[in-house]
Chains A and B, each alone.
Chain A
Amino acid sequence: MNSDTAAAPPKRFGAIHYMRCMSGIVWREGLRFLHQRERFVAALVRPLVWLFIFAAGFRSVLGVSIIPPYETYVLYEVYITPGLIAMIQLFNGMQSSLSMVYDRELGNMRTLLVSPFPRWFLLVSKLLAGVAVSLLQVYVFLAIAWAWEVEPPLIGYAALLPALVLSGLMLGALGMALSSMIKQLENFAGVMNFVIFPVFFASSALYPLWRIAEASPLLHRICTLNPFTYAVELIRFALHGQVNWTAAAVVAGCMLVFLAGAIFAYNPSKGLIAKRGGPGGAG
């Protein structure tokens, strides 16, 4: 058994071990993604239904005036595309973070948490893995939307990437933090009703904020307080090759807050795991 004796565990983890751990987590998420085609199709159909049907119906009802970053009148389809991209990431973030705790991935959560790496690092890696999957979904969506006259400048596709990473991390961290704080969100229908729908509708995803202000000052106020609005605007500007610094700052700030919440929730002496008796219940 020479090979057994040769490799004693290394004294301390270095950067290379951290890299291996993170790449392993992303690699596994990718593999799972390949095996779950239904999830991929569902993630794609959802925004496409909005684009093909909802937007087609509303393009005549809702006029969109010229507001930054747009320099001309745009089709309603073009206007809601950034919102739909953010919706893809919202669903993805909620799904991966919540399923980790409540559904079939319970076991995986335990496998992840017995890794000797620091817990914050494991959680951030897990979030990045989720973002990587959402990137793929978004770019496939954009490819299909191209055929639907949603044709942003080419530079927009590149500028979109960092924006997507930022917004994806924020939404994933939100899901992770929520999963611990709200006990009632045990199934996805509850999440749809109480998180995804309000967050999506009370934002600039479907209508410009000035329109909302005309209709209801209160709703306008809610929309400007909704971090999702800033994710949408960050994506909207990026898709047209511009940076909305305010949106970027708000999204980055919210991301840090949500992430801190998630790390707190998974701290072994506080938050969700200790209170609930851990994934899988106490025995």
Chain B
Amino acid sequence: MAASAMSAAEAARPALQVEGVTHAFGKRVALDNASLEIDTSRFCVLLGLNGAGKTTLFSLITRLYNNVSGTVSVLGHDVRRAPGEALRRLGVVFQQRTLDLDLTARQNLMYHGRLHGMSRREITERTAQELERVGLADRAGDKIRSLSGGQMRRVEIARSLLHRPQLLLLDEPTVGLDVEARRDILNRVRDLCRNDGVAVLWATHLLDEVPDDALVVVLHRGRVLASGGVNEIVGLTAARNLEGAFAELTGLGGFETSPRALS
């Protein structure tokens, strides 16, 4: 299991810790003093509308660019000071498709494994395991182009797990998929948390993708408005369900007009 690959010191640290992160593109502030923490084997939903700052946060965690202030650490490894250590413990599924369409699923995973310094034998072994897990073992030799949207996503998830990360980031992974495929992917990723101890940060704007036992972080215009269990979030508001709570917190639904900043 992934959890057992961690050192004892790492196991005691949160899988992901974001503390007081602010980031701006020119004058536009994309993230404003954002903080969140995810423990090992937790499923965390980062809930926010388009433009809330979800992708910016992902880019900072994956060190596409550096945070201007605050710290981001993966299992205690600061992304700025020890990027290699942080990145090797991290698996990512980006919002945009990043597979090579002309190559086969197996070739795409081989490339990824090499980028993580894995040996051919290990990659071959792990590719078989991970494609099996996402139910695509029989499509390993097919070109990505011939797969459906849902299948491509599953290949991306298999790829992101190839190097046994302890933290998995998914940025709107179900965009453009039908209901069936969406549910399938959500269930597979939740199984990962439960069975393999992988911590997951799942960014979405779709409220029906929030499981009842998930940790929820509400992000709006670059600020974390609330975080906690689903019931906690609902309890912070006068609403009866998460949808109402989200509307109230972001001030978009008309239950209350002013968004409350919560600690």
Q: Which residues of A contact B (CB under 8 A)?
A: 1, 3-5, 7-10, 13, 16-18, 20-21, 23-25, 27-28, 31-32, 35-36, 106-108, 110-118, 268-269, 273-275, 277-283
- B124 CB to nearest A CB, Å: 12
Q: How long is the Cα–Cα vector from A268 to B51 in the complex, in angstroms?
A: 21
Query: Size of chain B's interface in residues, with CB distance under 8 A?
Result: 54
Q: How long is the Cα–Cα vector from A64 to B1 in the complex, in angstroms?
A: 72
Q: Are A20 and B118 closer than 8 Å at their CB atoms?
A: yes
Contact flag A117-B84 (CB < 8 Å), given A21-B117, A24-B115, A108-B98: yes
Contact flag A116-B116 (CB < 8 Å), given A31-B107, A108-B100: yes
Q: How long is the Cα–Cα vector from A241 to B220 in the complex, in angstroms?
A: 65
Q: Are A111 and B117 closer than 8 Å at their CB atoms?
A: no
Chain A residues, CB < 8 A from B1:
1, 4-5
- B105 CB to nearest A CB, Å: 13
Q: How long is the Cα–Cα vector from A269 to B112 in the complex, in angstroms?
A: 25
Q: Mark B77-99, 1 if CB is under 8 A from A, else 0.
A: 00000011111111010111111
Chain B residues, CB < 8 A from A9:
5, 88-89, 163-164
Known contacts A20-B114, A24-B110, A268-B83; 5 additional CB pairs below 8 A are A21-B116, A106-B96, A107-B96, A268-B63, A277-B25
- B86 CB to nearest A CB, Å: 8
Q: Which residues of B contact A (CB under 8 A)?
A: 1-2, 4-6, 25, 30, 50-51, 53-56, 59, 62-66, 83-90, 92, 94-100, 102-103, 107, 110-119, 122, 125, 129, 163-164, 196
- B72 CB to nearest A CB, Å: 12
Contacts A/B (CB < 8 Å), 29 sampled? A4-B2, A4-B164, A5-B4, A20-B117, A21-B115, A24-B111, A25-B114, A28-B100, A32-B102, A107-B97, A107-B98, A108-B98, A108-B100, A111-B98, A113-B63, A114-B87, A116-B87, A117-B84, A268-B63, A268-B66, A268-B83, A269-B65, A277-B56, A278-B64, A280-B94, A280-B96, A282-B55, A283-B55, A283-B56
Q: Are B56 and A8 closer than 8 Å at their CB atoms?
A: no
By beta carbon, the residue of chain A nearest B25 is A277
Q: Are B100 and A3 closer than 8 Å at their CB atoms?
A: no
By beta carbon, the residue of chain A nearest B61 is A114
Chain A contact surface mostly? helix
Q: Are A115 and B87 closer than 8 Å at their CB atoms?
A: yes
- B262 CB to nearest A CB, Å: 23
Chain B residues, CB < 8 A from A114:
62-64, 87, 90, 92
Q: Are A27 and B116 closer than 8 Å at their CB atoms?
A: no
Chain B residues, CB < 8 A from A278:
59, 64-65
Chain B residues, CB < 8 A from A277:
25, 30, 56
Q: Are B64 and A18 closer than 8 Å at their CB atoms?
A: no
Q: How long is the Cα–Cα vector from A31 to B92 in the complex, in angstroms?
A: 24
Q: Are B55 and A21 closer than 8 Å at their CB atoms?
A: no
Q: How long is the Cα–Cα vector from A8 to B122 in the complex, in angstroms?
A: 12
